[in-house]
Structure 1
């Protein structure tokens, strides 16, 4: 599979996503048209649409220095420029983590964050929201050579006093001593901490985003890369060099950063064995060449504990040259085909499924509710029509009796609506207690106290104890919310059951709020942070700046988890009774409609057939409503049958 085919599949994915957006917009319009819209469902749907429109397929490339990672990126995506677009010449390597994407609003640029920003207690995510803090170089997409020249800034370095490098977390005395460097006056460090690159390449315009992470030192000193950015990528491509195999630093990077970012999952994780051209032996010939590659794959798979099928032997140098020269024979020899096929087939298919699962999780309940309500209205209207068909239209005494019974039902309904309103007030009080249990003020006070205690701690061990205390306090905060959550859930179930029992409402199992996922996420980031802190020995030894940044990253993630818990609790409490309210509203309409029909029948001078025809005609809008919804559900690719069987 050649790169144009990857481009075509990415384009197809982009079109599929656009169709999905269109279907969800149609669903929103359907809800408005048939009076099922409310502010909370609108917010849910708009959040999904915003997420889909900003969706990117992120591929993260991870490797130690001099593995040919950037050359691989050039070969995979940018060969048609005719130049080596990203700097990857021998002896020159990208020094700062780099994100390549297309920012339609911002245009073509490189934004560079200075290395000194490490001294500030501000996250990369916060910096990204403040373009003024970045040095910007404009790019001319029509001039690959101008872009190529501008990209040289990615490998820029500068010399600084050793104590400055130490403060920045870029000097390790033990590591330097192993390399024969003792007490230098100055140290060479990267000029830039992070780079953002935007230009309108066709693949980037379709939503591709490339994350290029340079070396173990970068991963070891930037916890946000390992704990935030790598886990959010759709795939991680880990690059080895065929001539060296798995080195000690490769293995450390693999175990402590790559595998942890996947959370133990092997899907979306590929290993590229680059530079297979270096294994060519004129004396051994083609057979010996193939055998050498297979042997290296087998050895590497054993060390990394993965299947051999997950390792892709490639010559990025040959692939780039072949694509620039349109040399199909050389391209075949580069073996890039298998990697491109993996990216096209596995990763894009996986991304589709993730989006569908997310949509089903977020609005599947709304769609199920719409379907149940629509079916219920049509079923009730059909039953009513069948009942009326059996009536003696000439017997006014019978119709008057039915009208009296219906009025009694209407009166009983109004009493119970008052009871529902009272129950809803009780629920609102309970829900507020639940929401307040995650209050920002409570979380920030815990974090403030931890930060204050951490500043008094001069050792890594002391910092570790403080961060452990932080997580213990946040665990306690979540645990305090358990009883409140359970009480709120019981109340919601009781309110639903009352109307199901008294009116025969179709049972719609209410969505129940749970804090388990937040407890799990909190434990997970604490474990990830501990694994990070204890693993990167070569970069974390006696470097408090890195430890501080690690804990700042953990605190930021913990705060976000609690923020999401409160936001989700508020959204849930605002919407959990909405399906029941829709049913109550429809029940009222059914009673009023029944009274109106009985009056028509009682007052009608027409024939029985004419009255029946009028009633049958009134079913048509309900049938159309259900048919439209079925078409929309099909367009959204939501299989609601599994939900209905549960």
Structure 2
């Protein structure tokens, strides 16, 4: 069976096309991200130019830039058949494409989940995945990497008739037996039946449409889903596709509201995502044009729609500000005809703008947490270093200028003191590098908590239990045990994280204490302030520091040091390094993700009879999707834990290295002034110039922090509506 489709093009006349603001919104967001990427590039260059380069810091900054370059913004349109999902997508895309892209006629035109994407290096295509792949163990994410499993059809976007014929394939169905349909995970009560006791199922499991469209080019990915009849038991949709979206739009008919099948889709595929801070949920009461009546009272209709919105919000547990009334059909027609009054009456433009702005807002929140805050943290370390150096330099310059004014002119002694200060920071660098050995063993224990070998063992054990289980109860117990094992891993990860933090603070405090001892030793052991004696003592102190730190930071008494330093760490430190601290490891985010997945899995098991009855293929398909998502969380925790552990000492190493380099400059300047025959005024000017050069570096870093911290420009009316903080009226006028 094939569905028909008509490609509607904009009329070739003097009708003025009505532009959509959403492309401007997305482009503005990408510009904001590009500005931050350039700021990070400036920071990386600054570190190299000022000889404060650290490979680990640079690698972290490159990863942050990669996160910012990811342009993906995903939107899913979900609902029963004939709710207007495809027509709403057509209305969103029409202003830039000037044609109706998706099949949109009466009946069931979309029979499989369909993604609209843009791949820069690929010609336009339609790719279709056979429905039979549901019987296999591989999840959709893996199948997307196997080109030979898909039917690949090139798209000719310049031939509307050919485009029509090709895209209509997403509505293909095939006739099979009831038994075969159940093996594929379908609930046959929702399928269309034939006269010979067969049923019709979708021919394809998934469709990918790659097309060059301005919105898609900006990273927008659109997911169009079929109705309940075509979904069946498709855990990839629930556990992978929908959770990856920043916005989910649930479509309903305004005249019927939330029906029983609507509620089943919401409960099985969407409702459990309400606790996810990364996903916006919207509900659309579509087809308000059915209420337009010249003989009806406008106020009466408005109150009726308002009641429907309130009821829908209660049924779906959403804020009323997330419920919109519109007409996708009339919005599309308004854009085709260039009718601004009809466009306003359809309410579609306001929904688009608010939906995209909140979508972008969610993405921005994620980037701030995972990219921008980390950049500001690294910039803050550099700023703290320069701030401490400026403070010391100002004090030194005041002393030198005072001596010059008194006629002492003992610049050489000041240079020698600066050279002794170099020992402090050189020793810190050496001690910190040696201290890596103290945490290496603990880091290995930490990473072992979320080792992928553990996950593989849990996976194989669960699959073995499946084979030995002959009831749905046994299957449920196997899945519950799988999650118990993962929760145990994350509990151990949390314990080892806390232990690691204690060790790190012990190392911080030990290094600082050693530096103070070294500084005091320099004061006591340098009666003769000659360069040769200073150099000898530098070498001697470095050797002593290496022996002390390599031996002591990993000795048998480290546990006592850990506890003592941890208990006293909250007290105020007497050194400038209290401005620098190790990064935070957000383990609670992984615990939250795992708990959410467990909840979804539990709810999903209750939703489908094929799982309850213990059908092997459906159950394995379900578990494979759950396991793929669980593995992603488990791997992400391991990767994040390793990155966190690798960077624990970076703040101190970066700080000590930069202070050492700045002191090198200071020694060079002061020695040059001590050996020159310049006047006191000239010497004072050179000191001021040196201080000014450090001040310029400080101001440059400060400007970078301000630039990276800048808020993204938003639509002025969106700001006034305050979608994030207070409920809003999404209904300018209802006719």
TM over 0.5, yes or no?
A: yes
User: Are 1:602 and 2:674 an aligned pair?
Assistant: yes
Is there any run of 5+ residues in structure 2 with no aligned partner, and where?
Answer: 1-16, 517-574, 712-735
Q: Separation in 2 of the partners of 1:283 and 1:407?
A: 92
User: Are 1:229 and 2:274 an aligned pair?
Assistant: no
Alignment counterpart, residue 702 of structure 2, candidates 623, 630, 636: 630
How far 1:62 moved relative to its partner?
0.7
Counterpart position of 1:644: none
Give 3-state SS (helix, strand or coil) of 1:533's partner.
Answer: helix
- C-alpha change, 1:377 and 1:110, in structure 2 (3 Å) is farther
- C-alpha change, 1:586 and 1:350, in structure 2 (3 Å) is closer
Counterpart position of 1:100: 116
Task: Report if aligned partners of 1:80, 1:324 keep a CA contact under 8 Å in 2.
Answer: no
- C-alpha change, 1:419 and 1:91, in structure 2 (3 Å) is closer
Task: Report if aligned partners of 2:185, 2:232 keep a CA contact under 8 Å in 1.
Answer: no
How far 1:469 moved relative to its partner?
1.1
Question: 1:382-411 CA distances to partner (integer Å, 9 max, x unpaired)?
Answer: 332222212248988955655665565555
- C-alpha change, 1:456 and 1:556, in structure 2 (3 Å) is same
How far 1:271 moved relative to its partner?
1.2
Alignment counterpart, residue 577 of structure 1, candidates 633, 649, 658: 649
Question: 1:212-270 CA distances to partner (integer Å, 9 max, x unpaired)?
Answer: 12123555522222222222222111100123221011112223322212326697222
- C-alpha change, 1:361 and 1:549, in structure 2 (3 Å) is farther
Alignment counterpart, residue 440 of structure 1, candidates 448, 452, 465: 452
User: Are 1:509 and 2:581 an aligned pair?
Assistant: yes
How many residues are aligned here? 635
Task: Report if aligned partners of 1:111, 1:137 keep a CA contact under 8 Å in 2.
Answer: yes
Q: Separation in 2 of the partners of 1:491 and 1:133?
A: 51
- C-alpha change, 1:355 and 1:217, in structure 2 (3 Å) is farther
Counterpart position of 2:690: 618
Give 3-state SS (helix, strand or coil) of 1:78's partner.
Answer: helix
Q: Separation in 2 of the partners of 1:329 and 1:415?
A: 74
Give 3-state SS (helix, strand or coil) of 2:242's partner.
Answer: helix
- C-alpha change, 1:81 and 1:396, in structure 2 (3 Å) is closer
Q: Aligned runs of 1:367-386 on 2, under 5 Å?
A: 367-386=379-398
Task: Report if aligned partners of 1:281, 1:288 keep a CA contact under 8 Å in 2.
Answer: no
Counterpart position of 1:480: 492
Counterpart position of 2:66: 50
How far 1:203 moved relative to its partner?
1.5
Q: Separation in 1 of the partners of 2:128 and 2:415?
A: 76
Give 3-state SS (helix, strand or coil) of 2:403's partner.
Answer: coil
Q: Separation in 2 of the partners of 1:625 and 1:54?
A: 31
Alignment counterpart, residue 285 of structure 2, candidates 251, 273, 294: 273
Q: Aligned runs of 1:72-471 on 2, under 5 Å?
A: 72-78=88-94, 81-172=97-188, 185-217=197-229, 220-263=232-275, 268-281=280-293, 283-284=295-296, 286-392=298-404, 402=414, 409-410=421-422, 418-471=430-483
Task: Report if aligned partners of 1:3, 1:77 keep a CA contact under 8 Å in 2.
Answer: no
Is there any run of 5+ residues in structure 1 with no aligned partner, and where?
Answer: 640-646
Task: Report if aligned partners of 1:437, 1:481 keep a CA contact under 8 Å in 2.
Answer: yes
Alignment counterpart, residue 69 of structure 1, candidates 69, 85, 93: 85
Give 3-state SS (helix, strand or coil) of 1:147's partner.
Answer: helix
- C-alpha change, 1:64 and 1:353, in structure 2 (3 Å) is same
- C-alpha change, 1:362 and 1:537, in structure 2 (3 Å) is farther
Q: Separation in 2 of the partners of 1:82 and 1:121?
A: 41
Give 3-state SS (helix, strand or coil) of 2:696's partner.
Answer: helix
Q: Separation in 1 of the partners of 2:588 and 2:358?
A: 31
Task: Report if aligned partners of 2:83, 2:253 keep a CA contact under 8 Å in 1.
Answer: yes
Task: Report if aligned partners of 2:129, 2:149 keep a CA contact under 8 Å in 1.
Answer: yes
Give 3-state SS (helix, strand or coil) of 1:391's partner.
Answer: helix
Q: Separation in 2 of the partners of 1:247 and 1:139?
A: 37
Question: 1:82-109 CA distances to partner (integer Å, 9 max, x unpaired)?
Answer: 5432011102320110111211122311
Q: Separation in 2 of the partners of 1:379 and 1:68?
A: 66
- C-alpha change, 1:414 and 1:145, in structure 2 (3 Å) is same
User: Are 1:560 and 2:576 an aligned pair?
Assistant: no
Give 3-state SS (helix, strand or coil) of 2:20's partner.
Answer: helix
How far 1:593 moved relative to its partner?
4.2
Question: 1:465-508 CA distances to partner (integer Å, 9 max, x unpaired)?
Answer: 11111122222233334443233211211122234454534211
Question: 1:103-123 CA distances to partner (integer Å, 9 max, x unpaired)?
Answer: 112231111111111111111
Question: 1:312-356 CA distances to partner (integer Å, 9 max, x unpaired)?
Answer: 222222222221122233333323233123224433344334433
| TM-score calculated relative to the size of structure 1 | 0.90
Alignment counterpart, residue 602 of structure 2, candidates 515, 525, 530: 530
